[in-house]
Chains A and B, each alone.
Chain A
Amino acid sequence: MEVAVIATWVIMLIASVFNTPTTTIVLVENGKKHNAIVVQTDAGSTTIDKAGQYVSLTSKKDAPSSVQTMSKESIEKKFKVVQKAAPLKPVHVNLYFQNDSNDLTEESAGKLSEILKLIKDRMPCDVNIIGHTDTKGKASYNAKLALERAKYVKQWVLSSNVDLNNLKVKSYGESDLLVETEDNVSEAKNRRVEIFIK
């Protein structure tokens, strides 16, 4: 199953206002390659690009502290509260279709239960369903086909009686390819419906 997490970076922050304001900003591992932040005050800026690194701020007029490192254990201890409060990440799932049709491939057709689990784990859940096609045929025809596919997936999800907070259906036609091709090319990976579950 294709599940892509779209986040690129994570920070955690304490902004506690005691006698002197002190803010600590920690960059946290998120399983992605690109994970970097810039912390800036009126006096300068510092980049943090490794998980576990942090800087402290004391005032607008002072530059951020030098970059320091916090152990995993300390991060977990200090930021336990927000780790617990954070909801599960939204997920993307791609379902693939047969050529010029709104019939799912056999493999994708077997994925309903997995998708329902992703939805149920995230209740109350918003679901966006986006239909796509490959570039074979006319763009106007493909816009309709992509919408048919998205509507089919919508019915498929609704048939299982999940109580969704919000459900949106869109068609991108042949305008948003997963695999870049020339026009009028049949490509199985582009014949898809993208489900964004959040």
Chain B
Amino acid sequence: MKIVMIVLLVGSVLFAQDIAIVKKMTGEVSAKRVDQIIPLAIGQKIHEGDLIVTKNNSDIGIIFEDGTIVALGENSVLSVDKYLFKPATHEFLVDMDMKKGIASFESGKIGKLSPESVKFRVPEGTVGIRGTKFYVEVK
């Protein structure tokens, strides 16, 4: 039984998809991944399901596969619940949950190809992208 569990765990780690990379970071930032707390560093990968936590005087900037950019300031918590970027089969999904703190979000290819697939949640509601045909020019 134990062996099976280990195999399952190792398997899930091996098949976990790298969905983003840490491009910039200061201070202490960690990712809660399954049951582990992983200290993050520049160049490290973010996985689907990671809960990213920044401490005092800490911040992080990450870029997802499709070019979506997320930056978090200090004392922030962001859960990357779902992420799917498969242009070949037109499968897209961005679902993040900002639990506290300060953040910037800049959409990438998914925001352009499938704006309705982008959901950025906050404690009181959600932020989504509006359909292109309704957009107006921003000066």
Contact = CB atoms under 8 A, between A and B. Distances in A.
Interface of A: 6-17, 21, 23, 25, 28-30, 32-42, 47, 49-51, 57-60, 62, 64, 79, 81-90, 122, 124, 126, 165-166, 196, 198
Contact of A81 (B43, B73, B99): B73
Contact of B60 (A10, A85, A88): A85
14 contacts: A7-B69, A7-B107, A12-B105, A13-B103, A13-B104, A17-B100, A23-B122, A39-B126, A47-B134, A49-B135, A49-B136, A49-B138, A81-B73, A124-B43
B138 A11 contact: no
Interface of B: 21, 23-24, 26, 42-43, 59-63, 67, 69, 71-74, 98-109, 111-112, 115, 120, 122-130, 132, 134-138
A124 B73 contact: no
B20 to A, nearest CB: 10
A82 B103 CA distance: 6
Contacts of B101: 14-16
Q: Which 7 A-B pairs have the closest CB atoms?
A: A87-B23, A81-B73, A41-B125, A85-B59, A57-B124, A86-B71, A85-B71
Contact of A28 (B43, B59, B104): B104
Contacts of A39: 125-127
What is the predominant secondary structure among interface residues of chain A facing chain B?
Answer: loop
Contacts of A30: 106
Nearest to A12: B104
A165 B43 contact: yes
Nearest to A43: B125
Contacts of A124: 21, 23, 42-43
A15 B134 CA distance: 27
A90 B21 contact: no
A36 B106 contact: no
B103 A40 contact: no
A89 B69 contact: yes
Contact of A32 (B24, B59, B138): B138
Nearest to A31: B138
A24 B109 CA distance: 25
